[in-house]
Structure 1
Amino acid sequence: MKNGLLVYTPLNGKFNIGDYIQSLAAKQFFSNSSTFLYIDRDHTNEYQGESVKLIMNGWYSHEPQNWPPSVLINPLFVAIHINETIKDQFLTEKSIAYFKRFEPIGCRDHNTLKMLSSKGINAYFSGCLTLTLGLTYKNNQVNSKKIYIVDPFFYFNKRLSSLLNYALTLTCHYKVIKEIANKIEGSVAVPQTGWKALIIAAALYKQLHTVIEDDVFINAEFICQEFYSKDYRNDDDKFKKADEILRKYEQARYVITSRIHCALPCLAMGTPVVFINKADDTVFSSCRFDGLIELFNLITIKKGKVLSNFLGKKLKCNSIFTNKELHKPYQEELIKRCRTFISKSL
């Protein structure tokens, strides 16, 4: 039986490196394999070839009509998320019967757990498979000065009054905002350049400067976890990029992010991480977080205002803090289940 890894169809010419980070988490458990069959997550029903073992973690699905998977796939369902917006299309009678064949089903969030349990499927909360990345990546830095700011959430309002407010903020804090703009412009998150990027950077600064000191904005490296597919030849290149980014997080003093597939790997490898949480997020996004959000050091924002800050003061370049350890039982159980699955002779 062959070993498989999930890969991902780009959406609108872009891909989220967090998906490939999740597949790297699965790859760790195939320690005796150097070759893999790449199987598209949203087209598993189309797989034709040799029987294949596949850890099927992650988001389901952008293409619910393509479910369930091929009978040639032997799956382990851990750390899956079924989005609230497609549950009716996804959880058909055929799909429910399929899940029952492979119980118990490990769910990445409580919302998915409730969804499956309501259909009579034996399910449990597993957390995310990226919590196991500490098997490969370990933060042993004692005096690192490297700080990463990864896709931090902030509101951007296009009303004239708000734009004028951003312009005023830019005038008063030009040096630091210019530095931010130089770092974020031209990325997938901020494709704008010039004065448009400056205004967006001003909006970011206006909302986050109450919890982040200017020296952090100036010295940190900004990372966007979305990329243009045209810049990568194939899935191998995307996996290399995912590893490169994880190696950066592994060396960090701390990380600030609103990406769960940045924050969860940081927990796994022992890198201090702050999660900026949007309290009034859409169902499409917020349904992913129930059960995970509690694991993080949080800064919570609602309607552009900071509601809470775990640290109680601004983050500085020399700030020292530690992560919670609530993730560790899930980490241990995920490792155990994946190793058992891989070791089975079929």
Structure 2
Amino acid sequence: MKYGLILNKNNLNIGDDIQAFATARFLPQVDYFIDREYMDDFRPEEDEPVAVIMNAWYMWHKWNWPPAKNIIPLFVGFHYADHQLAKQPGSPIKYEFLNGIGGDYLKAYGPIGCRDYYTRDQLQALGIESYFSGCITMTIPKMPETPEKGSYICLVDLEEKVANKMKKLLAEKNMDVRVITHNRERNSEMSWEDREKQVTDLLTLYQNARCVVTKRLHCALPCLALETPVFMIKEMEDDIRFDPYYDFLHRTTVTKFMKDEYSYDFMNPPANKDDYKKYREELITHITEFVDRMKQETRGADDLVKTTYTPEEVLVWRHDVMKESMNLWFDKYRALQVDYKHLVKKYQNLQKEINRAEKQSPELSLKQKIKKIIKRH
């Protein structure tokens, strides 16, 4: 059996490579690197099955689904990008690719281990058997200890005002501060060796910190696995990607932190909660059993495929989903155009009223004139 590793090759966020690093440690070897956004294009050197642990955030390129037949998947840590609910800009296209053949693929290889409750609930609503598995980054092994252990605190991608307050607070305690970001320049040509080194260097830094303060999910979860005390400061409480991880972490909101309405001793940080450990152990067992089964597997790709649709049927399904989704997109755009024109007209009418008020009542301030106009409306 050959083994593949999912990569987001053009990522801005090293968190994707942290997930790949956590995945790679379970594999006997990595024979293929598979681009997360082009899994349908994957072709092994021979027409052979390739076992793949499918922990990832799907799908930004929604037309490249389902994956190629040669991929024999284990779905854990599955999350899909519904941009609006993830509080990110995006098109009105959400989970259309999970209906029809796209959903049949997941049904065939279920149950699907999901990274968050929202994805689990959405899949179940579509008739796809699923459960909360947690994220594979919770299984990361401990990194080597260094002579610097406990001598610094890491601030990872905090809001500027939070980072400034933290730096001032820790300077008063004469504590070394390491300011870190998970962002980097896009480089789709970066080798796995370079990606892996970036990850191990970063995780070693976290391993030896007195504590880590962050708003990043794929900083916080690896710190749980490393048993490095971690504190999350994040404002948006309804971010679907963080449910139920909020309950696994010591945390506060940005607002409460700035008002000193929190309880956490950065110099003597408490141990992390144990809530995640149940899911960590279940993930390790589940993935290890999958890999052990694949080691014993001698059948070819055609015999291991669990779906029944043909390549031609995939093309028809993809065409229909694209057509339906693009029509939805155009309808949404037209509606926005109508709303925009209405708002422009409303603004122009209000501007005219302000100009008239300026001539009729020059003694009033602009604020008083606007209040007077609003009262009429």
| Smaller-chain TM-score bracket | 0.7 to 0.9
Rounded Cα–Cα distance in structure 2 between residues aligned with 1:88 and 1:268: 31
Is the CA contact (8 Å cut-off) linking 1:280 and 1:303 kept in structure 2? no
1:229 is paired with a residue of what secondary structure?
A: coil
Is the CA contact (8 Å cut-off) linking 2:10 and 2:187 kept in structure 1? no
Partner of residue 329, structure 1: 278
> Per the alignment, do residues 53 and 126 of structure 1 end up closer, same or farther by CA in structure 2, a change over 3 Å counting?
same
- Alpha-carbon offset, residue 84 of structure 1: 2.5
2:119 matches 1:112:
yes
Is the CA contact (8 Å cut-off) linking 1:139 and 1:270 kept in structure 2? no
- Alpha-carbon offset, residue 293 of structure 1: 1.4
2:154 matches 1:132:
no
Is the CA contact (8 Å cut-off) linking 2:75 and 2:113 kept in structure 1? yes
- Alpha-carbon offset, residue 236 of structure 1: 2.5
Is the CA contact (8 Å cut-off) linking 1:4 and 1:53 kept in structure 2? yes
> Per the alignment, do residues 204 and 232 of structure 1 end up closer, same or farther by CA in structure 2, a change over 3 Å counting?
farther
Rounded Cα–Cα distance in structure 2 between residues aligned with 1:45 and 1:18: 23
> Per the alignment, do residues 239 and 310 of structure 1 end up closer, same or farther by CA in structure 2, a change over 3 Å counting?
same
> Per the alignment, do residues 308 and 52 of structure 1 end up closer, same or farther by CA in structure 2, a change over 3 Å counting?
farther
Rounded Cα–Cα distance in structure 2 between residues aligned with 1:46 and 1:217: 54
Could you list the runs of 5+ residues in structure 1 that have no partner in the other structure?
155-200
1:116 is paired with a residue of what secondary structure?
A: helix
- Alpha-carbon offset, residue 204 of structure 1: 4.2
Rounded Cα–Cα distance in structure 2 between residues aligned with 1:290 and 1:4: 29
Partner amino acid for 2:121?
K
Rounded Cα–Cα distance in structure 2 between residues aligned with 1:293 and 1:237: 32
| Correspondence for 2:21 among 21, 24, 31 | 24
Identity among equivalent pairs (%): 34
Is the CA contact (8 Å cut-off) linking 1:83 and 1:287 kept in structure 2? no
Partner of residue 327, structure 2: none
Rounded Cα–Cα distance in structure 1 between residues aligned with 2:147 and 2:277: 20
| Correspondence for 2:43 among 40, 43, 48 | 48
Q: Which of the two has greater strand per residue?
A: 1
Note the 1:24-173 alignment, pairs <5 A.
24-30=21-27, 32-33=28-29, 35-49=30-44, 50-85=48-83, 87-134=94-141, 136-137=142-143, 144-152=150-158, 154=159
Q: Which has the higher contact order (CA 8 A, sep 6+)?
A: 1
TM-score w.r.t. the length of structure 2 is 0.69
| Correspondence for 2:224 among 267, 272, 275 | 267
Q: CA offsets per residue over residues 148-169 of structure 1, 9 Å max, x none?
A: 11111x2xxxxxxxxxxxxxxx
- What's the Cα RMSD here? 2.6
Partner of residue 169, structure 1: none
Note the 1:236-315 alignment, pairs <5 A.
236-279=193-236, 286-302=239-255, 305-306=258-259, 308-311=261-264, 315=266
2:63 is paired with a residue of what secondary structure?
A: helix
The higher radius of gyration belongs to: 2
- Alpha-carbon offset, residue 74 of structure 1: 0.3
| Correspondence for 1:221 among 174, 178, 183 | 178
2:254 is paired with a residue of what secondary structure?
A: strand
Rounded Cα–Cα distance in structure 1 between residues aligned with 2:20 and 2:126: 28
Partner amino acid for 1:69?
P
- Alpha-carbon offset, residue 53 of structure 1: 0.6
1:214 is paired with a residue of what secondary structure?
A: helix
Bigger drift between 45-54 and 217-226 goes to 217-226
- Alpha-carbon offset, residue 90 of structure 1: 3.1
Rounded Cα–Cα distance in structure 1 between residues aligned with 2:291 and 2:147: 32
Rounded Cα–Cα distance in structure 1 between residues aligned with 2:162 and 2:172: 15
1:124 is paired with a residue of what secondary structure?
A: strand
Alignment coverage as a number of residue pairs: 283
Rounded Cα–Cα distance in structure 1 between residues aligned with 2:230 and 2:163: 19
Rounded Cα–Cα distance in structure 2 between residues aligned with 1:231 and 1:48: 19
Rounded Cα–Cα distance in structure 2 between residues aligned with 1:231 and 1:64: 19
Rounded Cα–Cα distance in structure 2 between residues aligned with 1:95 and 1:269: 36
> Per the alignment, do residues 230 and 340 of structure 1 end up closer, same or farther by CA in structure 2, a change over 3 Å counting?
closer
Rounded Cα–Cα distance in structure 2 between residues aligned with 1:320 and 1:240: 28
Rounded Cα–Cα distance in structure 2 between residues aligned with 1:222 and 1:301: 17
Partner amino acid for 2:125?
S
Rounded Cα–Cα distance in structure 1 between residues aligned with 2:54 and 2:77: 8
